[in-house]
Amino acid sequence: MIRDITLGQYYPGNSWVHKLDPRLKIIATLLYIVALFVVHDFIGFAIAFLALAVVIAISRVPLKFILKGLKPVFIIIVFTLMVNLFMVKGDILVQFWIFHITRQGLRMAAFMGIRLVLLIIGSSVLTLTTRPIGLTDGIEALLSPFKKIGVPAHELAMMMTIALRFIPTLLEETDKIIKAQQARGADFESGNILRRAKALIPILVPLFISAFRIAQDLAMAMEARCYGSGIKRTRMNAMKFAKRDLVGGILLVAFLAIIVLERVLI
Amino acid sequence: MNYFEAKNLVFDYVKSDENGLVTTNRALDGLNFVIEKGKFTAIIGQNGSGKSTLAKNMNALLVPTEGTMLVDGMDTCDAENTWKVRQRVAMVFQNPDNQIVSAIVEDDVAFGPETLGIDPDEIRVRVDEALMGVEMIDYKKKAPHLLSGGQKQRIAIAGAVAMQPECIVFDEPTAMLDPKGRQEVLKVIGQLNAKGITTVLITHFMEEAALADKIIVLDGGRIQMEGTPVEVFRRADELKALSLGVPPAVELGLELKERGIDAPDDIMTIDEMVDYLCQ
Amino acid sequence: MSIEVRNLTHVYSEGMPHESLALDDISFRVEDGEFVGIIGHTGSGKSTLLQHLNGLLKPKSGSIIIDGTDITSPGVSMREIRCKVGLVFQYPEYQLFEETVAKDVAFGPSNLGLSQEEIDARVEEAIRLVGLDYERLKDVSPFELSGGQKRRVAIAGVIAMKPQALILDEPTAGLNPKAHADILDMVNTIHRTESNIILFVSHNMNDIARMSDRILVMDHGRLAMNGTPEEVFTREEELKQMGLALPDAMELTMRLRRKGMNIEQNCLEISALADAIAQLRG
């Protein structure tokens, strides 16, 4: 069911990871992703994997929930694996028809696969343990130094808040529209690509109209709640850098140091 | 004391098409009325009668094309007053989904106070109180899209209450709800009014209008009737001519009259009718 | 044409932690030409049931026999079933997508692979049947119409498929009194002209009592009652336990009886109640 998608969703909890400052978590996630590309051997990936496993364990988000986040991007992962497996040149291991699998290709595919999976799980840990509003507040805070050069930090953050809020609503809406058009005899499963693409019009047009309607209603509702008044906004959950964030920061630096040392020394 | 005062209020929707042709559609056509502070007023009328446009004129989301709209003595046409008015007059809209901004219930309730720049500790208190008031405190960490229509609408009401407004305008808040959701929302509206919040309820349910202190009937952008529920529902024939009904108890009274039984015409609710018939 | 449902069971999110029994062993039969009202509060399984009747959802167990064919058996053409059983969802105006009213209404029939003449004829007939002015509106964009008119266009889009059974899920939801009354009239007209089966879901007990030959009451995924309006609405206690109300006239009748007034008839309409009271006062 379309509703079961967990990517980008928050898993309410009270763990140490949940309580960390969103700013720290965002930076940590970004650096973790960088680390995944610094790493170039299996020992490095093992360290990265271990670090992530520890964070997940502390966060107490059920593993099942985290793995579900991989489902929608499964095709992308398979595609990446295939490309790397067949396209990389080197010592040929197996060959059939026009395809050949090389040792280098195999290694590359494995690396890219692990990298992608860790990357997705890593970023879903961020969204799963951070309240959407914390996430957007964090991004806003991190971007605010760039306001001077014209980066609309607050607007970007607001857009993300709204997107997070309305993704489930629009998915539900899509589900409804698909069923309604099926009830009118629409067929989305047969025919060639062109036909199938054409069959999407009866879904996409109502969906866009719904999105516009939501946007209009929401803009009105926000204005009614004084949004745009120019008063300086406050926050109910103002971000405060606490002791645990210091601990988190130190652990992050330690992790990065190990990754870099591993790359340089081994 | 008058809280709202409309003087010769006119509102035109102006639309220009791709050829630059300008068409004007008069939605409100010279309204004059007052709404007293603390009172519960219902506004009824068909689609296109202008009731939603009127609602938006009450908190400066729209401002009059001609005439004036005074809110607590402030002219909404004066841009200086816009935010003061919106702070005092909160609004709850029809579609429960499309007015909730945040993906967590309590963050949404905090949205209004946050835009007003209230102190974080104070916001916390207001949010919890508002959620308790609508009996949704147990859901404060939940995602709105998992709630029922009635629950979402109560979240929207809590969001309005947290701004500590003097008045709340409800624009058909029950139109998209099931009977249970309607009951929940109506109960909350009644409680808020009892606490002294000036209440304006736009509705097309006559039983809801019957709960008000005063009813304003709109048609074609003009006020067709104005008065207490008893005064308005007494004129059932005129209401029917406007394709509006009357509450069931009133309808029974009318049917009985046709059969030669004279029930007093100030009976508005089923309870009152039962009491009268069985006395 | 008849619809028969036997021991229908449906489970949502099977195997997931939030697995739930949406339909629990439901059996009923609807005869040709019947007007059946369906009531039950939100989440009682009404919508899930309706979506089974034209194959949009597949049951876990049980069978659904439409016009003699069990649609749960493999190899049944869903297109044929959807042509026989038309389903109008809640707020159907949100499914409109074409540039003109006529084109939108034609979407269903053209999916059935009919000839162009046949499609045109059906479109015109359907638009007239829902009470819209065909000549004036056929080339208008559906998005320029009023809410009530949009809903009629969407319903015309289903009627143009000439279903022998028409299912309407809360067709009056969110409408103003005038538009509400107009849609009810329209449903009656369709029922009379097409003499098809109508399954009508509503929260408005007055409408349900007035229009239905028979009523199905859903509660927690079970079929709790199946009877005439009079049979159903005299079971006040059970209905109230399910969070359902009585029609206004019936509510008044019951209360008056409890207060000792000797009303014999079960009055489903206010005028009938007025007659009964007048008779007593004689």
Q: Which of residues 128-187 of C touch A (CB under 8 A)?
A: 143, 157-158, 161
Taking CA–CA distances from A9, the nearest residue in chain B reads B103
Answer whether residue A266 is part of any domain.
yes
Which of the two residues, A146 and C165, has the higher pLDDT score?
Answer: C165
* Number of Cβ pairs < 8 A linking chain A and chain B: 113
Q: Are A63 and A4 members of one domain?
A: yes
Q: Is pLDDT above 70 for A5?
A: no
Same domain? For A4 and A125 the reply is yes
Amino acid in position B218 = L
Stretch C216-227: mean pLDDT: 96
Q: Which amino acid is at B14?
A: V
Nearest-Cα residue of chain B relative to residue A214: B98
Query: Are A3 and A127 within one domain?
Result: yes
Residue B169 has pLDDT above 60, yes or no: yes
Among B201, B133, B108, B4, which Cα is nearest to A225's?
B108
Q: Which of A1-5, A155-159, B239-243 has the lowest mean pLDDT?
A: A1-5
What would the pLDDT profile of C125-160 be if each residue is shown by its tens digit?
Answer: 999 999 999 999 999 999 999 889 999 999 999 999
Give the chains touching B; criterion: ≥3 Cβ pairs < 8 Å: A, C
pLDDT-derived band at C17 (thresholds 50, 70, 90) equals low
- The conformation of residue A19, written as its DSSP 8-state character, comes to H
Confidence at residue C137, expressed as pLDDT on a 0 to 100 scale:
95
What are A254's strand-pairing partners?
none
C205 with C258, same domain: the answer is no
Q: Work out the pLDDT band at C281, boundaries 50, 70, 90.
A: confident
Together in a domain, A195 and A263: no
Report yes or no on C242 lying in a domain.
no
A220 and A257 fall within a common domain: no
Per the structure, the count of domains in chain C is 2
- Nearest Cα residue to A2 out of A177, A237, A147, A259: A177
Fold classification of B2-227 is Rossmann fold (3.40.50)
Distance from CA of A220 to the nearest CA of C (A): 20
d(C-alpha A55, C-alpha B235), whole Å:
70
- Residue C256 pLDDT grade (very low, low, confident, very high; cuts 50, 70, 90): very high
Pairwise CA distance, residues A209 & C113, whole Å: 28
Give me the pLDDT at residue A230, please. 81
In a domain, A141, yes or no: no
ipTM of the complex, rounded to two decimals: 0.90
Three-class DSSP category at C174: coil
Same domain, A67 and A186: no
> Do C144 and C188 share a domain, yes or no?
yes
Return the residue of B nearest to C175 by Cα.
Answer: B175
Residue C72 CA: distances (Å) to CA of A13, A181, C29, C46: 43, 21, 16, 19
pLDDT band at B16 (very low <50, low <70, confident <90, very high): confident
pLDDT in tens, A39-97: 888 899 999 999 999 999 999 988 888 887 787 788 888 888 888 888 777 777 777 77
| C240 assigned to some structural domain | no
Percent of chain B past pLDDT 70, that is, above it, reads 100
Determine the pLDDT at residue A91. Answer: 77
**Over chain A, what is the mean pLDDT?**
86
Range with lowest mean pLDDT among A4-8, A53-57, A184-188, A259-263: A4-8
Q: What is the rounded average pLDDT for all residues in chain C? A: 93
In this structure, the answer to whether residues A19 and A4 fall within a common structural domain is: yes
- How much is the average pLDDT of B29-54? 94
Residues C29 and C49 in one domain: yes
Mark whether A74 and A187 lie in a shared domain: no
User: Could you say which of C214, C235, C256 is where a domain stops?
Assistant: C235
Q: Kindly list the residues from chain A whose CB atom is less than 8 angstroms away from the CB atom of residue C158.
A: 183-184
Distance CA B107, CA B88 (A): 21
Q: How far is B161 from chain A (nearest CA, A)?
A: 11
Looking at the structure, do residues C54 and C100 belong to the same domain, yes or no? yes
pLDDT greater than 70 at residue A4: no
Mean pLDDT over B241-253 rounds to 91
User: Is B180 near chain C, with CB under 8 Å?
Assistant: yes
Is there a single domain that holds both residue C123 and residue C262? Answer: no
Residue of chain A nearest C162, judged by CA positions:
A184
pTM of the model: 0.86
In angstroms, the CA C246 to CA B224 distance is: 32
Mutate: best of A64, A173, A176, A184, partner C, most C CBs <10 A: A184
Helix/strand/coil (H, E, C) string of chain B?
CEEEEEEEEEEEEEEECCCCCEEEEEEEEEEEEEEECCCEEEEECCCCCCHHHHHHHHCCCCCCCEEEEEECCEECCCHHHHHHHHHHEEEECCCCHHHCCCCCHHHHHHHHHHHCCCCHHHHHHHHHHHHHHCCCHHHCCCCHHHCCHHHHHHHHHHHHHCCCCCEEEEECCCCCCCHHHHHHHHHHHHHHHHCCCEEEEEECCHHHHCCCCEEEEEECCEEEEEECHHHHHCCHHHHHHCCCCCCHHHHHHHHHHHCCCCCCCCCCCHHHHHHHHHC
Question: Are A44 and A161 contained in the same domain?
Answer: no
- Considering only A151-155, B116-120, B251-255, which range has the smallest mean pLDDT? A151-155
Return the minimum-mean-pLDDT range out of B15-24, B228-237, C179-188: B15-24
Dist. CA A178–CA C95, nearest whole Å: 9
Q: What is the mean pLDDT of chain B?
A: 93
Q: Is residue A138 part of a domain?
A: no
Q: In this structure, are C141 and C251 located in the same domain?
A: no
Three-state DSSP state, C44: coil
Classify residue C43 by its DSSP letter: T
For residues C76 and C152, state if they share a domain: yes
Q: Higher confidence at residue A6 or residue C14?
A: C14
Could you give the CA distance from residue C151 to residue B162 in angstroms, rounded to a whole number? Answer: 37
Name the phi and psi angles at B276, rounded to 5. Answer: -65, -45
Residue A171 and residue A88 share a domain = no
The mean pLDDT of B162-190, rounded to a whole number, is 94
Asked whether the predicted pLDDT for residue C31 surpasses 60, the reply is yes
CATH number of residue C217's parent domain = 3.40.50.300
Q: Which range of residues forms the domain containing residue A15? A: 1-131+237-266
Q: Which residue has the higher pLDDT, C176 or C251?
A: C251
Which chain B residues contact residue A238 at CB under 8 A?
120
Does residue A6 carry a pLDDT above 60? no
Which residues in chain B have Cβ-Cβ distances shorter than 8 Å to A168? 143, 145
Residue C241 lies in a domain: no
Both A103 and A5 in one domain: the answer is yes
- Band of pLDDT at residue C18, cut at 50, 70 and 90: low
In this prediction, residue A2 carries a pLDDT of: 46
Same domain, C13 and C113: yes
pLDDT at C276 over 50: yes
Q: What's the domain range around C227?
A: 3-235
Domain assignment of residue A143, yes or no: no
One domain, residues C278 and C225: no
- A165 and A82 assigned to the same domain: no
Interface of C with B in 39-78 (CB under 8 A): 41-43
